Structure 1
Amino acid sequence: MKYFVALSIILLLGLLIQNRLKPALLFFGLVLGYYFLDLIPTDVLLKNFVNPSLVTLVLLLIVSIVIEKTSFISMLSEKLFDKSFPKSILKISFFTSLLSAFLNNTAVVASLMSVVKQNKFHAPSKLLLPLSYAAIFGGTITLVGTSTNLIVNGFVIERGLPPLEMFDFIYVGIPVALIGSFVLVFITRFLPEQKNEISFETYFIEAKLEKNSPLIGKSIKSNGLRNLEYLFLSEILRQGHIISPVHPDEILQEEDILIFSGDIKEISLLEKFKGLELLHVKHDLSSNLVEAIISHESTLVGKSIKDVNFRTKFDASVVAIKRGEEKLSGKIAEATLCAGDSLVLAVGNDFYQRDNLKKNFYFFNNLKVNKKLSKIQSIFVLFGFIGVILLSVFKILPLLKGLFLLLVGFVLCKMLSFDEIKRRFPYDLVLIIGSALGISGVIIQTGLAQSIADTLIAAFEGFGVYGVFFAIYIFTAMLTEIITNNAAAALAFPIAYSTALSLDVSYLPFVMAVAYGASASFLTPYGYQTNLMVASVGGYSFKTFLKSGALVSLMHGLVVVVLIPMFFEF
């Protein structure tokens, strides 16, 4: 059975890397398979989905909905920027790390992205990736800073061990955040610079020649489509064939589809051409353009706009699409959507009432779905949250109970509705973590974790306990770059735990290596959702992540592997 479990884990890893199926479905499908093979008892399977750490994480995410409505983040963020670029980077990094230590870092980055884009001193492309990295640093300062820490704590509790405390992570997390902030100043030299006043977001825009259009039968040049400011005719779709590059003397034909790339803000330039219709747009473009990023939890991932019947589902038309620096080709309606794609939507009157927006998109421009709380309400929310954290720290009231009370208070005060809870409930995260707890148990019980641990020990025993500990960190960090942070923690924990038992040393350094390794996603945009959020908006290529993330990964690894054994002895 051990070899069967090993093959199933390899299959799971392969499917996660391919990114074609949602991780929640993969994890839940595997744990169900184990259940029907009697590898997991019914009571254990159900118990995993009400694990205290999982429930705490869900409550934190729901409570953060109310915190997002406060005015404090936007008020404080106005003080972040300075004429001095290094000072601006350090301010953003410290501020973001502090917020991310207690709030959901995805929400923090989403709140600050628009502020960064609108700053008048520096190019947003120089600031957005440091913003994401700082959010990752901050998440590792406390137990509640990132879902990864809470997941690891869930595994610890499941093994019958004492739970991790709120500030067990500060001894390593704070130095990582402080040193990392100065490293972020250095890595900005690897980031593209697109000045606010002259830069534009390059989107993929589609228009079609109508029947009897006066443009038909004339060349690109004579129609004035060659030298449009901020827009470039990149290709023509004609009867299923792509014409690219487009020659100035190319004669336009009836039903040609013209693909433009360039600044979405200049889309009105195309409206002056008679007989040229912007496709998929059935809404007014004068004042209702909204920019949105497809979330990692979106049901749109892997599907085309045509397949999901986008206009009916959201009461919005996709005007343009952008994917980092990648050059898109073909029809917008047939493009396969990916997590992190940036869309420009022309929205209808019913758009803001749809209950599927927050699940499918990260919004950073022009969206007014949530009404901001008043100053008094914001103070109540802030002090209520701080109070719950302090009561937990001083062991007066468990964090789980405190969050429950806070949630009830928010609902009774009408700061949070049941509809909002339903819309924002992290169903996928619950499936992943609840399933991962069961999978972790199977890996340990079947002896697979022990076999892998024995292999690691044999390979690194020449370097002693420290060498094996280092190998666990590297293994987890590599996993998080090719799958996701939560999945990496789920797969690495049982191996780390079994390794500690085999070496007859404390499990804590190895558990911490998994926690920090699973959050060490700096080399790709796919391992951590905040990286995905800034990738398209900042115009970052995969190469940009590799160059800038390499130094950050090196710094993070060195600080972590040096400090963990100092504060958590073997």
Structure 2
Amino acid sequence: MTLVHGQLLALAVSMFFGLVFTRLRPVLLFSGTAIALVLMQQLDVTRLLNLAANPAVISLLLLLLVSAGIEKTRLLAWLSQFLFRRSYAGTLVRMGAGTMVSSAFLNNTAVVAALMGRVNTNPDHAPSRLLLPLSYAAILGGTLTLVGTSTNLIVNSFLVEAGKPSLALFDFLPVGLVACSVGLVLLVLLSSWLPRHPRQAQQEDPYFIEAKLQPDSPLVGRSVQANGLRSLEGLFLAEVVRGQRLISPLSPDTVLEAGDKLVFCGDVRRVTVLQRFRGLTLFASAQGQLDRTLTEVIVSPTSAIVGQTLKSVEFRARFDAAVVAMRRRGERLSGKLGQIPIQAGDVLVLAVGQGFHHSRVSRNFFVIGNAQLSATLTPLQEWVAIGGFVSVLALSAFGAIELVAGLAVLLMLMITSGVLSGQDVRQRFPFEIWLIITGALAIADSVLQSGLALMASTWLHQLFNGQGVMVAFVGVYLVALILTELMTNNAAAALALPLALGLADAFGVSAMPFVMAVAYGASASFISPFSYQTNLMVMSLGDYRKRDYLRLGLPMSLAYSAAVLLTTPLFFPF
């Protein structure tokens, strides 16, 4: 091993530990690694720019922008009307199949976000019985086509850069259909394992609402009981923060003082009850935003505010929104609202200003309720968005046009026809995903060009030589699966694919089975709520715990893995 090999290996290991064991955002780690490669002269700037302009990468960026236009149509709302029936098994099958088909062509995060509200309000079945299957169905559906998930497009990017033929739109379909069928059957068979939380079970984790007592308030100098704060409808005065002192449990005879922070727990919809008390100012009311519709969001695991407090990130100035209430699954919050460290998965209720819906929001939150609605599209605009998208996919599937060219034309048509505005494009441009993929391609290219991938694959070939190529194939799949549960699906694909290509070359066999092993293994995000964004989106609304993901996700992962490992060599021979 040369010094160059040692430097690359140290850089790769450092990035892995950063992704798994630190709170650093993947975009910083991948971008920093790419910059380090340039500084170490392992990669020149021209090559880095060529990697960023990879046709498969540009296809992914265009697809995400076009998906923003599809989200504005009534397609998913129309679909949701046919998914729910009085029969639970019938609903599960309809919802699962409908979600899989939708996720095969649309952004699966958008699909889940569009259907979550309908699941939550359906009158026949508890949300906890449907939301986790909804997330799993979206993940499974993404494995059906090249455009179903960003993982498949990232894998295709690597192949193009390695000089391999590009994957076609439906190359993933045969194995994906088997995996989806097995997954759907398993969801029905194991549906009794899903928790049965009634809708009101969300009150086990009530919203945390803070109000400050102003010096001129008539409540000052009077007890909690005398002020009538013990008998509020839907709200409970849990504690008082006085300076650095926390008064809890709270006695009815506790006398309130000017500057006290009153912490209420309960139904956030009853927050207007507190406005009846003169001199009691809600945490969110300083800017007069409570007259607006409240917006409920979930904090993304990749959000820049995770681990920080509302005060330290200057939340109002940063997002043009004030936090009315906060909730954390499985934990009752305590202390000052502005000084509580934010965690991924926290639910915030926001009073939003006009500047709330911008790019920072989509990178930091999942909006799950009462979001500001986009303007209704005209029939012509609906036709441009849906008809244009279907046409591009069909023409690409038959080889009439390149996918990247078709998506570029469609995006221009959407902007010209008013389906998307220039502001929409700026807000939804996936800049962080672009940087992550470019960084991942930079790592893979350096590893391949330096000979480190050949060295590693030669060693593994010698290790697996006695067991045969099938053992190596299974090993590559397991590496991708474990990495996706520890990190994210995109990072798993980026780290596992160079190894897969090297092993295929070492064994002298087709690379396709190994490529598919990485793509399907990196999509197997079933066990952890944090391994895939749709899993996190349904966690709070479904009142799920980590053990719920393990209980259903482990057999799902085993069945999915068996289906993939048994069928991939049949459709993609060695």
- What TM-score do you get using the length of structure 2 for normalisation? 0.92
Q: Is the contact made by 1:105 and 1:145 (CA closer than 8 Å) also made in structure 2?
A: yes
Q: Does 1:172 align with 2:187?
A: no
Q: Deviations over 1:110-135 (max 9, x none)?
A: 21122222222222222222111111
Instruction: Report what 2:378 is aligned to.
Output: 374
Which consecutive unaligned segments of at least 5 residues does structure 1 have? none
SS in structure 2 of the partner of residue 205 of structure 1: strand
Question: RMSD of the TM alignment (CA)?
Answer: 2.4
CA deviations 1:79-103 (Å, max 9, x no partner) are: 2111111211111111111011011
Alignment counterpart, residue 128 of structure 1, candidates 121, 126, 131: 131
* Structure 2 residue 44 is matched with structure 1 residue 45: no
The structure-2 alpha-carbon separation of the partners of 1:179 and 1:224, relative to structure 1 and needing over 3 Å to count, comes to farther
Mapped partners of 1:329, 1:462: distance in 2: 59
Could you tell me the TM-score, scaled by structure 1's length? 0.93
Give the corresponding residue for 1:397.
401
Q: CA deviation at 1:494?
A: 0.8
Percentage identity across paired residues of the two chains? 44
Q: Which residue of 2 aligns with 1:477?
A: 481
Distance change (3 Å), C-alpha of 1:265 and 1:251: same
CA contact (8 A) 1:122 1:195 kept: no
On the 8 A contact 2:197/2:543 being kept in 1, the answer is: no
Deviation at 1:565, TM superposition (A): 1.2
Tell me if the contact between 1:295 and 1:339 (Cα under 8 Å) persists in the aligned partners: yes
Equivalent in the alignment of 1:310: 315
Structure 1 residue 298: Cα displacement: 4.1
Query: Residues 300 and 345 of structure 2 are in contact (CA less than 8 Å); yes or no, is this contact kept in structure 1?
Result: yes
Distance 1:558 1:145 in 2: 21
Q: Which moved more, 1:376-385 or 1:505-514?
A: 376-385
Equivalent of 2:298 in 293, 296, 302: 293
Q: 1:353/1:492 Cα in 2 relative to 1: closer, same or farther (>3 Å)? A: closer
Residues 273, 40 of structure 1: CA spacing in aligned structure 2 closer, same or farther, 3 A cutoff?
same
1:551 aligns with 2:551: no
User: What residue in structure 1 maps to residue 106 of structure 2?
Assistant: 103
252 and 193 in structure 1: CA distance in 2 versus 1, 3 angstrom threshold: farther
SS in 1 for 2:525: coil
Q: Is the 8 A contact 1:17 1:483 kept in 2?
A: yes
SS in 2 for 1:260: strand
Is the deviation greater in 153-162 or in 124-133?
A: 124-133
Cα distance in 2 for residues equivalent to 1:423 and 1:56: 18
Match of 1:22 among 5, 25, 28: 25
Q: 1:409 aligns with which of 392, 413, 416?
A: 413
Matched, 1:242 2:246: yes
Q: Is the contact made by 1:453 and 1:502 (CA closer than 8 Å) also made in structure 2?
A: yes
Offset at residue 415 of structure 1 (A): 1.6
Matched ranges for 1:69-80 at <5 A: 69-80=72-83
Counterpart-to-counterpart distance in 1, 2:250 and 2:89 = 43
2:527 aligned to 523, 529, 545, which one? 523
Question: How many angstroms apart in 2 are the aligned matches of 1:234 and 1:558?
Answer: 51
State the distance in 1 between where 2:404 and 2:396 align: 9
Q: Is the 8 A contact 1:71 1:375 kept in 2?
A: no
CA contact (8 A) 1:204 1:262 kept: yes
> 1:286/1:123 Cα in 2 relative to 1: closer, same or farther (>3 Å)?
farther
| 8 Å Cα contact 1:325-1:540 kept in structure 2 | no
Within 5 Å, give how 1:26-425 maps onto structure 2: 26-196=29-199, 199-200=202-203, 202-211=206-215, 213=217, 215=219, 225-226=229-230, 228=232, 230-246=234-250, 252-282=256-286, 283-285=288-290, 288-296=293-301, 298-348=303-353, 350-351=354-355, 356-425=360-429
Does structure 2 retain, via aligned residues, the 8 Å contact 1:485–1:528?
Answer: yes
Count how many residue pairs are aligned between Structure 1 and Structure 2: 569
Q: Is this contact kept in 2: 1:218–1:252, CA < 8 A? A: yes
Aligned mates of 1:69, 1:441 — CA distance in 2 = 38
Q: Secondary structure at the match of 1:285?
A: helix
Give the Cα separation in 2 of the matches to 1:340 and 1:128: 15
Cα drift, residue 224 of structure 1: 5.0
- Aligned equivalents of 2:128 and 2:223: distance in 1? 37
| Maintained 8 Å contact 2:146/2:171 | yes
**Partner Cα separation in structure 2 for residue 472 and residue 258 of structure 1:** 55
Task: Give the match's secondary structure for 2:553.
Answer: helix
Equivalent-residue separation in structure 2 for 1:68 and 1:11 (angstroms): 38
Report SS of the residue matched to 1:8.
helix
Separation in structure 1 between the aligned mates of residue 542 and residue 228 of structure 2, nearest angstrom: 31
Q: Aligned in 2, Cα 1:260/1:48: closer, same or farther, shift over 3 Å? A: same
> In 2, Cα distance between the equivalents of 1:288 and 1:340?
22
- Report the AA paired with residue 280 of structure 2: L
Displacement of 1:271 in angstroms is 3.5
Per mean C-alpha deviation after superposition, the further-off stretch among 227-236 and 26-35 is 227-236
Q: Distance in 1 between matches of 2:390 and 2:352?
A: 38
Q: 1:5 to 1:325 in 2, by over 3 A?
A: same
Q: Which amino acid aligns with 2:441?
A: L
One-letter amino acid matched to 1:84: S
| Structure 2 Cα separation of the partners of residues 525 and 171 of structure 1 | 28
- Residues 1:429 and 2:433 aligned together: yes
Q: Distance in 2 between matches of 1:204 and 1:65?
A: 33
3-state SS of paired residue (2:483):
helix
Aligned partners of 1:235 and 1:521: how far apart in 2?
40
* Residue identity in the other structure for 2:96: S
Amino acid at match of 1:552: M
Q: Is the 8 A contact 1:120 1:196 kept in 2?
A: no
Could you tell me how far 1:403 is from its partner in structure 2? 0.9
Aligned partner of 2:501 in structure 1 is 497
Task: Tell me whether 1:568 sits opposite 2:572 in the alignment.
Answer: yes
Q: For 1:325-381, what per-residue CA distance to the aligned partner results, in whole angstroms no more than 9, with x for missing partners?
A: 343333221233344332101123x24675644344322322234213123421332
The superposition leaves residues 279-307 of structure 1 with CA deviations (integer Å, 9 ceiling, x where unpaired) of 23233535521112234554434432222
Q: Which moved more, 1:469-478 or 1:378-387?
A: 378-387
